[in-house]
Amino acid sequence: MRRILLLTLCLLLVAATGAAALQQPKRSTGSERGDRRERVMLRDADGARIGLVRLREHGDGVAVRARLRGLSSGFHGFHVHTTGICDPDAAEGPFTSAGGHYVGDGGAHGDHAGDMPSLYVAENGTAKLAFHTDAFTLGELRDADGSAVMVHAGSDNFANIPDRYTSSLSGETGPDEKTLATGDAGDRAACGTIGGDDSDEVAGLVTVTSDQRFLPTVRRIRRDITGNPDLTLVTVVKHARSAGRAGLSLPPTRLLIFGNPGAGTVLMQDARTIGIDLPQKLLVWREGTEIKVSYNDPHYLADRHGISGQDELLDQIAELLHQLATGG
């Protein structure tokens, strides 16, 4: 019997305060970490990034953590599909190129190896989910044609339909063939390939688009930082002004450097080298008519420096950075 232990399902924005219990991490090389981890960028049918799903071999199974945004509120089917091709223009509908559910040793839907816990999205369009499963390994998902992580438009009933109900399509009692295959989760809303490349995504960098102009975005972020008693604004670097002094031109670009010594010190106690990536930074920059805000994914930094056992603190930091970047 497969075990899927749901650890966390919440939609809270929290400040990066407090310290997680320290553990001495087992150091490993970058290639070893890469073999045991997978980072999946999910995009919707319009190509917009909606978040990340991380898979990490842990104990006898795989730990899965999802952080998503920009989805409709309510429950959504959340699965692994058989083929690592996420084509929004596929002939049979967006992302049908990814094939059906990854079945593994399972039978009907509800027992597929790729059946993951349903994703719950709050009214603000954000979702967090963490669980551990022994239904698949990363090696299985990285087969010749790869695989894909899929978010569906509707909720998943896991084929849990009693025989007292009759299908209006087939006249069969209980779950019909379609329900047994998909759980009636509906269209495919977002997709990300396992083992695939996200060519315009800088490794470890999260970028969002501001709904304000350049200076109002900078002022809003600065105000949010200085108004938070747990944060200290170190400095603001005006790259475009420096470029002008050197006789060069650069579109508006400002770097806000800030930190929380309590949270940062906890990470540095695990790995002193993360100090090269601290304090935290938010880069506000203009690309064409759009204003972008970029920041380092704290989980990526932890992987880079071999830090383990700090997931709760890293989640808190990630939530705070997203809140500062988006203003929500």
For residues 205 and 132, give the distance between their C-alpha atoms in angstroms, rounded to a whole number.
Answer: 25
**Predicted pLDDT at 218:** 98
Residue 238's nearest CA partner among 293, 290, 285 is 285
The answer, yes or no, to whether residue 292 has pLDDT greater than 60, is yes
Checking if the pLDDT of 26 tops 50, the result is: no
Of 156, 153, 118, 115, which is closest to residue 133 (Cα–Cα)? 115
Average pLDDT over residues 244-268: 96
CB-based contact 14:320 (threshold 8 Å): yes
DSSP 54-106: EEEEETTEEEEEEEE-S--SEEE-EEEES-----TT-TTSTTGGG-SB--TT-
Q: Give me the pLDDT at residue 202, please.
A: 66
Q: Specify the pLDDT at position 133.
A: 94
**Average of pLDDT values for 147-172?**
83
More confident residue, 328 or 191: 191
Predicted pLDDT at 158: 83
Domain boundaries defined on the chain: 4-194, 205-326
Does this model's pTM top 0.85?
no
128 compared with 171, residue with greater pLDDT: 128
Taking only the tens place, the pLDDT of each residue in 45-95 is: 998 888 889 898 888 899 999 988 889 999 999 999 999 999 999 999 999
pLDDT average, residue stretch 203-228:
92
pLDDT value at residue 18: 36
Residue (of 76, 86, 51) closest to 65 by Cα position: 51
pLDDT band, very low/low/confident/very high, at 23 (cuts 50, 70, 90) = very low
Model confidence band, residue 106 (pLDDT cutoffs 50, 70, 90): low
Give the residue-averaged pLDDT of 191-219: 80
Q: What is the CATH number of domain 4-194?
A: 2.60.40.200
- Let me know how many helices (H) and strands (E) the chain has, helices first: 8, 15
What are the Cα distances from residue 224, in Å, to 107, 207, 220, 231, 277? 51, 18, 6, 9, 21
With a cut of 60, say whether residue 151 has pLDDT above it: yes
Q: Give 248's DSSP letter.
A: -
CA 4 – CA 62 distance, rounded (Å)? 10
Confidence band of 9 (pLDDT split at 50, 70, 90): very low
- The per-residue pLDDT for 315 is 85
Same CATH fold, 205-326 and 4-194?
Answer: no
Give the residue-averaged pLDDT of 21-33: 37
**CA separation, residue 37 to residues 65, 137, 208, 226, 290 (Å):** 11, 11, 24, 36, 33
pLDDT of amino acid 177: 72
pLDDT(300) > 90: no
pLDDT of residue 294: 95
Look at the block and give the residue holding tokens 């930190």: 259
Q: Tokens for 169, please give them.
A: 């399509």
Options 1.10.8.590, 1.10.340.70, 3.30.310.70, 1.10.560.10; CATH for 205-326 is 3.30.310.70
The whole-chain average pLDDT of the chain stands at 84
